Structure formats: structure tokens, C-alpha cells
Amino acid sequence: MKNILLAVFLLSIPAANYCQNKSLNKFYRQYKKGKAVKNFKIPGWLIHLGSNIASKHVDDEEAKIALQLSKSLKKVKLMYAEDQHHVPPAAVNKLVKDLRKQSFDDWIYVRDKGTTVNFIVREENNTIKNILVLVNEENSFALVSIKTKLRLKKLAEVINKLIHKYKMDIFEEEKPVEKPPQV
């Protein structure tokens, strides 16, 4: 029996190692210790406890939907640096490049003047496993890293509920573009 348990343990090490985001964890450990850096982690059990308590006191449909989605969260890491010298843009760019190599995809990327926002997601088997939001401004930096088990089907249901609630017609029929007269 001990040999079987030992074999299972040894075989699970590579799988556990594969599931980790080495570059993200390394980045977080390296920059969380700065004087101007604030950071904390919220474990999944605490999120679930809070959402269970809150669900008893919420009547708003949107809040109920958000609380349902929060049950798919496993861990949240937050880091905020008030001085950009503590988290240089080159390090953020390297992190994003490394994450792209680890099957992360850009879902949203916005750059305006001195601000850059990256919304990066790692998806596996129609399930969102990691969500990373990076906000890099001239004098500050923010990171939100979320480990989750959010199924894309569940996300689509939530989006459809919100579309129907607000009666959004985001897929309205396109009007044909009039061609200018040819000369």
C-alpha cells in the first residue's frame, strides 16, 4: 500500500508543477515586498463563506448573479504599487510575454496615454482557470490574479441574463453601408 501511495505522489508532482504559473508566482513574490507595495491574498473558502452570508441579505438580481459567480473562485491575489519604480514596466512586459507562452490569451488590451490595461485569461477544457488583470499607469501599478473554475457555459448564461435584463440589442441587424457614387 505504501508503494502505491508513493508512486501516486511521485507521479502527481509533475502534474502539480504544470498547474502552477511559475512566472506569475515569481513576479508576485519578487515585487510584493516593496515599501510602496500593498498586497494580500484571499483564499477561496473565505470568498465562499462571504458569498453564502451575503446571498441571504441580497435582493438585487445582479448581486445574486455576482455571488453565484464568486462560488467558482478558488483564490484571489491583489497587489498595488504606488510608485512605478517598485514594479518597472519592463518586468510587467516580461510577465505578459511569459504568460502568453503558458497558454494565457489576451481578452482585453487597452492603452491610452500613460495607462495600459491587460485582461489575460488561461482557459482549459471550456473552463477559465486563471484571470489576470494588470493596470500599469505612469505612477502606479495594480495586479489582480484570480484562480477559478468558471465554465464558459456558465459565463454565457450570466451574460445572456444581463442582456435580457437590460434588453440590450447588441446583435442588431447591421445597416448596409451606402457606397458613394462612382465618378
Model pLDDT for residues 9-28, shown as the tens digit of each residue: 334 334 333 445 788 888 88
In 10 A of CB 146, how many CB atoms? 21
Q: Residue 10 domain-assigned?
A: no
Q: Residue 4 domain-assigned?
A: no
**pLDDT at residue 161 in the model:** 80
Read off the pLDDT of residues 82-141 as tens digits, 9 standing for 90 and up. Answer: 865 677 778 888 888 989 888 899 998 888 888 888 899 999 998 999 999 998 887 888
Q: Residue 177 domain-assigned?
A: no
Kindly state the cell numbers that stand for 147: 484562480
Q: Stretch 61-66: mean pLDDT, rounded?
A: 81
Q: Stretch 67-94: mean pLDDT, rounded?
A: 83
Q: Residue 6 domain-assigned?
A: no
What letter does residue 137 receive in the DSSP assignment?
Answer: -
Sequence-separated (6 or more) residues with CB below 8 Å from residue 81: 31, 34, 36, 37, 38, 87, 140, 141, 142
What pTM does this model have? 0.72
Q: Residue 11 domain-assigned?
A: no
Q: Residue 1 domain-assigned?
A: no
Sequence-separated (6 or more) residues with CB below 8 Å from residue 145: 24, 28, 76, 77, 78, 130, 131, 132
Residue range of the domain that includes 113? 20-165
Q: In 86-124, which positions are buried (b, 16+ CB within 10 angstroms) versus exposed (e)?
A: bbeeeebeebbebbeeeebeeeeeeeeeeebebbbbbbe
Read off the pLDDT of residues 147-164 as tens digits, 9 standing for 90 and up. Answer: 999 888 888 888 888 787
H or E segment at 80? strand 73-81
Q: Residue 105 domain-assigned?
A: yes
What's the CA gap between 110 and 117, in Å, rounded?
5
pLDDT band (50, 70, 90) for residue 32: confident
**pLDDT at residue 171 in the model:** 55
pLDDT band (50, 70, 90) for residue 76: very high
Q: Residue 124 domain-assigned?
A: yes
Q: Stretch 63-71: mean pLDDT, rounded?
A: 83
When divided into structural domains, the chain yields a total of 1
Task: Name the packing angle between helices 44-55 and 61-70 (round to 10°).
Answer: 150
